[in-house]
Chain A
Amino acid sequence: MKKFLFNIILMAFLVAGGMGVILYIPPVEKNFYAEILRKYDHLHQSGSPKIILIGGSNICYGVSARQLSEYYHLPAVNMGLNGGLGLRLMLSQVRPWIGKGDIIVISPEYEQFLGAYHLLDGQGSSLAEVLYYSPESLQYLDSISQYKETVKYLPIFAQKRLGYLVNHRFGFRKKLPIDKEKLDYRQAFNAYGDATYHFNLPVPGFGKGNYPLPDNFDMAPARLLNQFSQEARLKGAEVYFAYPGYAQSEYNKNRKSIQHLESLLSRELELKFLGKPDDYIFSDELFFDTVYHLGQKGTQLRTLRLMDKLESERGISYQAQSANEKG
């Protein structure tokens, strides 16, 4: 038995060591997901009150934290990165850093509410990438499913990394077209966490009709949002829910499902709503490469609309509020 245990443990160590070498041998390509490090830094260093934007890529490709920060004269952090991280992680990585007076806007993609997509706990591909660059994110994982998804993805991740190393070492790598997954994060985002690299790129467009949205929504994410909102309000923060920016043509196709989700959420969600889904529908030309990713003009428009809704929901503009406080 002793010999068996020794051999099994030795083999496990050797395998883990082999994987470690493959994953961490230089050069480590700091891709799009490495931005999480700067987002964390920004979030941890910004005192309250501050604005926190939570969501998937629709947030980093669709709301300008910089615009919000400049308008409200508050620090603003765009925490959006990828919907595959799952709503659970998106919320738990922000939770410890909420303070009094914070304004939190949560805008998940519609797919986050589709049980069949299993997005609540995240997808292994996104979770593994984020954990790779930021092992501290482990502390934000709070469901077994998140660990399972990550572990399941590890072999694929190691294979991708091995492929990268081989290509890099032997110079097989061809010059690739702009690919956000391979783009160095420092070129992709501004200091607020907004994706900006694509503003001056030709628009590839999104595959129209490739975004069917079934209507079998699951309300587990809504319950998680309610719980999060309750905790945040206890800390003195304001929590708002906004629908994601979405392309007109796809909205026309998925209108029924989206309206069904809206009626479910208006019944289930205890958060304040910043408008309705159609408030954030923009013409197709304003989108970059997916139905959720806006270009520069679209981002400005959506941010302005968000600010409008925020002000009418709060009943007072921040500038007026500060003037009152000073007075």
Chain B
Amino acid sequence: MLFNSLDFLIYFPLVTLLYFLLPHRFRWGMLLVASCLFYMAFIPVYILVLFTTILIDYFAGIWIEKTAGKTRKIWLITSILSTCLVLFIFKYFNFFNANMAGLARWLHWNYSLEGLSLILPIGLSFHTFQSLSYVIEVYYGRQKAEHHFGIYALYVMFYPQLVAGPIERPQHMLHQFYEKHYFEYQRVANGLKRMAWGMFKKVVIADRLAVYVNQIYGDPASSHGLQLLLATFFFAYQIYCDFSGYSDIAIGAAQVMGFKLMENFNRPYFSKSISEFWKRWHISLSTWFKDYLYIPLGGNRVSLSRLYMNLMITFLVSGLWHGANWTYVIWGGLNGFYLLMSLLTRSWREKLVQLTRLGQFPQLHKGLQVITTFTLICFSWVFFRASSLADAILVFKRIFQGLGEGLQLALEGHLGSIVHLLMAPGVPFGRKEYLLALGTILLLEIAHLAQRKGALKWQLSQKPVWVRWVFYYGLVMGVILLGNYSMAPQQFIYFQF
């Protein structure tokens, strides 16, 4: 069941209504059943896979708490391995197998292991990480083992964040299932507004841009470099609006019922550096990797060379987490490389700022930093979006060729030819679609700029009632009248991870 489907539009109010009508002691059970049904709407039998990991981690948590020393560690390792094994079988086995086969061919070895034809359970990487964080926290004694099986199952399966996060921590989430939530007008209204904003990002911006990106990236060989450049720019916004739109709906839906999920995005394209970007993008995953991989590896309290290695490992694993494909690994590696470079070149860059007196123009300096960071991130998105490494290389080649041609045309004053190129037959966007795409991106960034002065909902709450109504009415009508609706709702990109 997708958040942007009619089914969810009916399902969510029904579950919420039931939640508030039921006495507190029955609510967890109802939410668990609702979460199971939500999950089973994809591939029903996979609930058994999820149930198995829940069962293992539940008992592992209790045994980790009860035991000490080596036994405790054995329970932790058993739990981590069994949870990761499921992830490996469903997500990474074929990738591993194909690479092993390639290596064997190269070494003239005999290797003939059959691949598996399994469909990836939806959101597997997300709930795997959420389960892992639980056992690790219990191991370190920062969280008590949850003895109520239903509550623990709900912690893993809570339906608003089941398939694409935010990846929660037990300390933040578990206690909330014991708390009694009342119907509070302001909280419920704010949750619904957040959901509407998420829907706007998803169906109006992301799904429209997807039409352009899918076609151009679907056949990079026949696309002009400038079209690929624009498609990369559009993809940056598509993936942001798709994923942050999902997160907004998840956070809003949980908020309506009285739950507080962690924030996942904080206007990432306004970051002034790569390290800042990763503090603002997919925050729940970045902090997960920081807490459970980067810091255990030694974090930054190690030698410089070790620090660089820790960073690279963290980013490579993060890339692999996103998908079993070398394109994702390279995407992660590239982001790690950016970070290393930013550390290595810090003093040079500071000298350059002094030399050019950029420091005297802080707004200009900041603007340049934001543009540079955004360009670097867009560059890395090429690997994320391309179907294969060969495609990614082709995309780069054509972009640079296209840039050269575009520059020449611009210098010769043939700007019309560039416009003509972007509107050529076969390009999925006409004038209206370009206007809508660019207009809504602009609108999004205006909203982001406005958020510097505080949350939009707070700013709006200071306005007269009619202004608020016009705004929210416009938002709902915008979702209906500007959304890109194909007959089947578009899946969220991060659902596949």
Contact = CB atoms under 8 A, between A and B. Distances in A.
A162 interface: yes
A1 B185 contact: yes
Nearest to A151: B6
Contact of B188 (A4, A19, A22, A123): A4
Contact of B487 (A1, A19, A124, A159): A124
A147 to B, nearest CB: 10
B481 interface: yes
Interface stretch (A10-18, A72-80, A176-184, A310-318): A10-18
How many chain B residues sit at the interface, stated as a range, is: 10 to 19
Contacts of A158: 480-481
A156 to B, nearest CB: 5
Interface in A1-29: 1, 3-4, 7, 11, 14-15, 18-19, 22
Nearest to B482: A159
Contact of A152 (B189, B481, B487): B487
A155 B480 contact: yes
Nearest to A123: B487
B326 interface: no
B477 interface: yes
Interface in A150-166: 151-156, 158-159, 162
B6 A155 contact: no
- Interface size class on chain A is 20 to 34
B477 A18 contact: yes
Contacts of B259: none
Given A123-B487, A152-B6, A155-B480, A11 B185 contact: no
Contacts of A22: 481
B477 A15 contact: yes
B76 to A, nearest CB: 46
A148 B10 CA distance: 11
A156 B203 CA distance: 12
Nearest to B20: A1
B203 to A, nearest CB: 9
Label chain B's interface by main secondary structure: helix
A162 B481 CA distance: 8
B472 interface: yes
B188 to A, nearest CB: 6
Interface in B450-497: 472-473, 476-477, 480-483, 485, 487
Given A124-B487, A151-B6, A11 B481 contact: no
B197 to A, nearest CB: 15
B185 A4 contact: yes
Interface string A47-76: 000000000000000000000000000000
A156 B481 CA distance: 8
Contact of A155 (B185, B188, B483): B483
Nearest to A10: B469
Given A3-B185, A4-B185, A152-B6, A11 B487 contact: no
B433 to A, nearest CB: 12
Contacts of A11: 472-473, 476
A148 B477 contact: no
B183 interface: yes
A154 B485 CA distance: 10
A88 to B, nearest CB: 18
B460 to A, nearest CB: 14
The 7 closest A-B pairs by CB, nearest first: A155-B480, A155-B485, A4-B185, A156-B485, A152-B6, A18-B477, A3-B185
Given A152-B487, A155-B483, 5 more contacts: A18-B477, A155-B480, A155-B481, A155-B485, A159-B481
22 contacts: A1-B183, A4-B185, A7-B189, A11-B473, A11-B476, A14-B473, A15-B476, A15-B477, A15-B480, A18-B473, A18-B477, A19-B480, A148-B6, A151-B6, A152-B485, A152-B487, A154-B480, A155-B480, A155-B481, A156-B485, A159-B481, A159-B485
Interface of A: 1, 3-4, 7, 11, 14-15, 18-19, 22, 123-125, 148, 151-156, 158-159, 162
